[in-house]
Amino acid sequence: AAGVIQSPRHLIKEKRETATLKCYPIPRHDTVYWYQQGPGQDPQFLISFYEKMQSDKGSIPDRFSAQQFSDYHSELNMSSLELGDSALYFCASSSRTSGSYEQYFGPGTRLTVT
Amino acid sequence: GNSVTQMEGPVTLSEEAFLTINCTYTATGYPSLFWYVQYPGEGLQLLLKATKADDKGSNKGFEATYRKETTSFHLEKGSVQVSDSAVYFCALEVTGGGNKLTFGTGTQLKVEL
């Protein structure tokens, strides 16, 4: 079965640079969630989208923005990167219209800021 | 607000030992409860879930029962294997709360021969 795809899997950036992370949900899933997991930490919710509209917002810095496109893939844009942004970024998808809220996670993008 | 508290790790067990990882929660509303597992270098995988009080989730020999009276969702397995070594996260989701997951801090399990 198709899973959530994230790209790139690894990304190295320098401070003050910009990064774009991409997420391709499971086919026919309408909801995308982004989570950030710092080293040794639990995943923290950043933001979610349902049918291309922002659904909920968590502890996402103002330097970050995200959107969901017409094909339901999502991109997380991160600007003015800081060392503290180094983390594993997970995308998850679910099918809200089917009545199932179970979230399926991608393998994550490991961002290292130097 | 919503929060999840897990027992601290690492938990080190011998193969075939009994496993319990404690999880308690605080939630506004009626949460669904989950256990996720994260193997080294990999993403999060749903292990099991329970959506209402007294439900028992089970998968791959792991079990957890949704106890509303004690606000707990402890993970158990009767006989662990080396391949169970991973980090286990307890999480909750409140319907109507945006469906975002709130995770505990994770418990690392190490199983030795």
Structure tokens at A47: 């933001």
Listed range (A86-95, B1-10, B82-91) with the worst mean pLDDT: B1-10
Q: Are B1 and B92 in contact (CB under 8 A)?
A: no
Q: Which of B34, B94, B100, B105 to mutate to test binding with chain A, by most A CBs within 10 Å of its CB?
A: B100
In Å, what is the CA distance from A77 to each residue of A22, A47, A60, A69, B97? 9, 12, 11, 13, 25
Q: What is the pLDDT of residues B28-59, one digit of tens each?
A: 888 999 999 999 878 899 999 999 999 999 99
Could you tell me if B44 lies within 8 Å of chain A, comparing CB atoms?
Answer: yes
Could you tell me if A95 lies within 8 Å of chain B, comparing CB atoms?
Answer: no
- Residue A108, CB-side half-sphere exposure with 13 Å CA sphere: 21
> How high is the pLDDT of residue B98?
67
Q: B100–A45: do the CB atoms touch at under 8 Å? A: yes
Q: A42–B105: do the CB atoms touch at under 8 Å? A: yes
Structure tokens at B31: 């949460």
B38: left (phi over 0), alpha (psi -120 to 50) or beta: beta
Q: Which of A34, A51, A103, A104 to mutate to test binding with chain B, by most B CBs within 10 Å of its CB?
A: A103
Q: Are B56 and B63 in contact (CB under 8 A)?
A: yes
Residue B93 with chain A: CB contacts under 8 Å: 101, 103
Closest by Cβ to B98, choosing from A55, A90, A107: A55
Q: Are B34 and B49 in contact (CB under 8 A)?
A: yes
Interface of B with A in 67-96 (CB under 8 A): 89, 93, 95
> How high is the pLDDT of residue A1?
67
Structure tokens at A80: 């003015």
Element (H, E) at A76: strand A74-78
Nearest to B47 by CA among A103, A56, A68: A103
Q: What is the pLDDT of residues B63-82, one digit of tens each?
A: 999 999 999 999 999 999 99
Q: Are B37 and B47 in contact (CB under 8 A)?
A: yes
In Å, what is the CA distance from B17 to each residue of B11, B13, B20, B61, B99? 12, 6, 10, 13, 35
Cβ contacts below 8 Å, chain A against chain B, sum to 55
> How high is the pLDDT of residue A63?
97
Q: Are B64 and B73 in contact (CB under 8 A)?
A: yes
User: Low-confidence residues of chain A, pLDDT below 50?
Assistant: none
Could you tell me if A38 lies within 8 Å of chain B, comparing CB atoms?
Answer: no
In chain A, DSSP assigns E strands to 5-7, 10-13, 19-24, 31-37, 44-50, 53-57, 64-68, 74-78, 87-95, 100-105, 109-113
